[in-house]
A = this chain, B = another copy of it.
Amino acid sequence: MGRITFLVLFIFISINTAAQKSENDSLQIRAIYNEVLENGEAYDNLRYLCKEIGPRLSGSENAAKSVTWTQQLMQSYGFDKVWLQEVMVEYWVRGEKETCVMHSKDTDAYTQLSICALGRSIGTNGQLSAQVIEVSSIEDLKGRLDEEIKGKIVFINQPMNQKYIETFRAYGEAGPIRYNGASEAAAKGAVAMINRSLSTIYDDNPHTGAMKYKDSLNMIPAAAISILGAGLLHGALQKGPVDIAMKMSCENLPDAKSYNVIGQITGSKYPDEVIVVGGHLDSWDLAEGAHDDGAGVMQSVEVLRIFKKLNIQPEHTVRSVLFMNEENGLRGGKAYARSAMNSNEKHIYAIESDAGGFTPRGFSFDVEPEKMVSIESWESIFEPYLTDRFIKGWGGADIGPLKSTGTVLIGYRPDSERYFDVHHSATDVFEAVNKRELHLGAAGMASLIYLLDRYGLPGKHNSGK
């Protein structure tokens, strides 16, 4: 055989092999989608988590139930290893439902307003009454004189920016209002802080979420008010002075023992190299935590179920991690990363689903910008599944602490339009989740992990290879 003939044949075989490989991958990914669209179990599992267990605030009895049940669920699927990882979690309780009545002094009218305490807030220690002062933003608040604020309840009436296409951008900008608003108000002598709910919908449900006191000597009660309530309060303030009488019996209790729930399919070639897929098992107490983040938790379990059902044996370990205490502490994510650092394992990729169980758009990759060109070469594989928007961006809160170990962090990105309608409010219930949308997300993550296991991220080689 002449050298040129040999070369031609070699190229021919190489191309054929590559084409064959690519076709096999396409068929495998199609099989993953078929399995989840026809026989997916994430939706029914989510129903159980939401309806039979319900809200799962860290430290609560329901959180403990969800730990036991998801452990049993993963065991029932026959994953290679299922275990609990102990975590001491922040333990905040709301107590009795909050009350809030505004009193317009000029008209002597009393109106009930829907508020909820923010996570980590102290209570009001009985009823708290004071005059209200409205500010339009944290910046506005910072610019006020102390004597304007002192002794008053600060009402930060800043709406989320509706103009952004991706609602997470608006949430990112507005987040500091809820997180820091109380401390900023307290610094000027306020007696309480109420923020307009971080929400994209006009209704009467307040949206809770974590806040943080900058120093423990200057703590004031912090609450969110529904969008409807914010409108009523704003309207009343336009007409004259308004007092508010509010009562919140929330409190911070000593840390409680809880668990991350972990299951895995052990890698055939590189058992100590780990690909994580996860969401968080805890939720706020106001609803069922269906989108936030029951969806991500059940998708993560579903990824492993699909691998098992289709007999896909990964070369690396594929591990589903159901993190505890994302909402008010991130203790689960931190504990997992600590244990990862202290183990012999190498975490190569981590994918988080914590943006709701909505229709898939793609994935975000926490990598250097120049890496994106090669990563985008995979978009065409996901194009038939409408999950092909591969962008540079955030991984997720729970997997964030893994970054320092060199893990490539990846965020699953569903459509964001509806998320902040229900986020952290009483409407985040099972009925708000669509079966096909939820399942397509699980299939997308399973497909990406299948490719990561086989080839590594384009432009990045798996260390084991």
A interface residues, Cβ below 8 angstroms from B: 33-34, 37-38, 162-163, 165-167, 200-201, 359, 361, 384-386, 389, 415, 417-418, 421, 434-437, 440
Contact = CB atoms under 8 A, between A and B. Distances in A.
Number of copies: 2
A384 B440 contact: no
A344 B63 CA distance: 70
Contact of A434 (B162, B361, B421): B421
A361 B361 CA distance: 10
Given A38-B162, A166-B386, 8 more contacts: A37-B162, A165-B385, A200-B436, A359-B359, A359-B415, A417-B434, A417-B440, A418-B437
A197 to B, nearest CB: 16
Contacts of A37: 162-163
A290 to B, nearest CB: 15
Contacts of A436: 162, 167, 200, 417-418
A166 B418 CA distance: 20
A389 to B, nearest CB: 8
Contact of A359 (B200, B417, B421): B417
A421 to B, nearest CB: 7
A73 to B, nearest CB: 21
Given A359-B417, A361-B386, A415-B359, A165 B440 contact: yes
List of 5 A-B pairs having minimum Cβ-Cβ separation, nearest first: A417-B436, A37-B162, A359-B415, A34-B163, A417-B437
Nearest to A387: B165
A451 B268 CA distance: 55
30 contacts: A33-B163, A33-B165, A34-B163, A37-B162, A37-B163, A38-B162, A38-B163, A162-B436, A165-B384, A165-B385, A165-B386, A166-B386, A167-B436, A200-B435, A200-B436, A201-B435, A359-B415, A359-B417, A361-B386, A386-B389, A386-B415, A415-B415, A417-B434, A417-B436, A417-B437, A417-B440, A418-B434, A418-B436, A418-B437, A421-B434
Nearest to A200: B436
A15 to B, nearest CB: 26
A46 to B, nearest CB: 14
Contacts of A421: 434
A33 B164 CA distance: 9
A418 B418 CA distance: 13
A218 B163 CA distance: 57
Contacts of A165: 33, 384-386, 440
Contacts of A437: 417-418
A165 B38 CA distance: 12
A263 to B, nearest CB: 27
A262 to B, nearest CB: 30
Contacts of A166: 386
A437 B200 CA distance: 12
A313 B20 CA distance: 55
Nearest to A389: B386
A421 B37 CA distance: 14
Nearest to A43: B202
Contacts of A385: 165
A295 to B, nearest CB: 14
Contacts of A201: 435
Most buried by B among A33, A201, A415, A421: A415
Nearest to A383: B389
Contacts of A440: 165, 417
A386 B169 CA distance: 14
Contacts of A418: 434, 436-437
